[in-house]
Amino acid sequence: MVHMTQAPAPPKATRRQHDREIVALAVPAFGALVAEPLFVMADSAIVGHLGTAPLAGLGVASALLTTAVSVFVFLAYATTAAVARRVGAGDLQAAIRQGMDGIWLALLLGTAVIATVLPAAPFLVNLFGASGTAAPYATTYLRISALGIPAMLVVLASTGVLRGLQDTKTPLYVAVGGFVANAALNACLVYGADLGIAGSAWGTVIAQYGMALVYLTVVVRGAQRHGASLLPDAAGIRLSAQAGVPLLVRTLSLRAILLIATAVAARLGDADIAAHQIILSLWSLLAFALDAIAIAGQAIIGRHLGAGDGQGARDACRRMVEWGIAVGIVLGALVIVARPVFLPLFTSDSVVKDTALPALVIVALSQPISGVVFVLDGILMGAGDGPYLAWAMVVTLAVFSPVALLVPALGGGLTALWGAMTLMMTVRLITLWLRARSDRWIVTGATR
- The pTM assigned to this predicted structure is 0.89
pLDDT band at 8 (very low <50, low <70, confident <90, very high): low
pLDDT at 37: 73
Residue 23 has pLDDT above 60, yes or no: yes
pLDDT at 4: 45
Q: Which of 4-13, 134-143, 161-170 has the lowest mean pLDDT?
A: 4-13
pLDDT band at 58 (very low <50, low <70, confident <90, very high): confident
pLDDT at 284: 84
Residue 118 has pLDDT above 70, yes or no: yes
Residue 308 has pLDDT above 60, yes or no: yes
Polymer length in residues for the chain: 448
pLDDT in tens, 324-346: 999 999 999 999 998 888 888 77
**Please, what's the b/e burial string for 115-134 (b: 16 or more CB within 10 A of its CB; e: otherwise)?**
eebeeebeebbeebebeeeb
**How many whole angstroms separate alpha carbon 446 and alpha carbon 95?**
9
pLDDT in tens, 224-274: 999 999 999 999 999 999 999 999 999 999 989 988 998 898 888 888 888
Residue 35 has pLDDT above 50, yes or no: yes
pLDDT band at 182 (very low <50, low <70, confident <90, very high): very high
With a CB cutoff of 8 Å and minimum separation 6, the contacts of 100 are 219, 223, 228, 229, 230, 232, 233, 236
pLDDT band at 6 (very low <50, low <70, confident <90, very high): very low
pLDDT at 9: 57
pLDDT in tens, 357-367: 999 999 999 99
Q: Are 292 and 24 in contact (CB under 8 A)?
A: no
Mean pLDDT, range 175-195, rounded to an integer: 93
Residue 59 has pLDDT above 90, yes or no: no
- For the chain, give the mean pLDDT: 91
Per-residue CA distances from 31 to 70, 162, 302, 376 (Å): 18, 15, 22, 21
Q: Which amino acid is at 280?
A: L
With a CB cutoff of 8 Å and minimum separation 6, the contacts of 35 are 172, 175, 176, 178, 179
Share of the chain above pLDDT 70, in %: 98
Mean pLDDT, range 101-116, rounded to an integer: 96
The 3-state secondary structure of the chain reads CCCCCCCCCCCHHHHHHHHHHHHHHHHHHHHHHHHHHHHHHHHHHHHHHHCHHHHHHHHHHHHHHHHHHHCCCHHHHHHHHHHHHHHHCCCHHHHHHHHHHHHHHHHHHHHHHHHHHHHHHHHHHHHCCCCCCCHHHHHHHHHHHHCCHHHHHHHHHHHHHHHHCCCCHHHHHHHHHHHHHHHHHHHHHHHHCCCCHHHHHHHHHHHHHHHHHHHHHHHHHHHHHHCCCCCCCHHHHHHHHHHHHHHHHHHHHHHHHHHHHHHHHHHHCHHHHHHHHHHHHHHHHHHHHHHHHHHHHHHHHHHHHHCCCHHHHHHHHHHHHHHHHHHHHHHHHHHHHHHHHHHHHHCCCHHHHHHHHHHHHHHHHCHHHHHHHHHHHHHHHHCCCHHHHHHHHHHHHHHHHHHHHHHHHCCCCHHHHHHHHHHHHHHHHHHHHHHHCCCCCCCCCCCC
pLDDT at 10: 64
pLDDT in tens, 354-413: 888 999 999 999 999 999 999 999 999 999 999 999 999 999 999 999 999 999 988 889
Share of the chain above pLDDT 90, in %: 71
Residue 41 has pLDDT above 60, yes or no: yes
pLDDT at 100: 96
Residue 1 has pLDDT above 80, yes or no: no
Centre a 10 Å sphere on the Cβ of residue 161 and count the other Cβ atoms it contains: 29
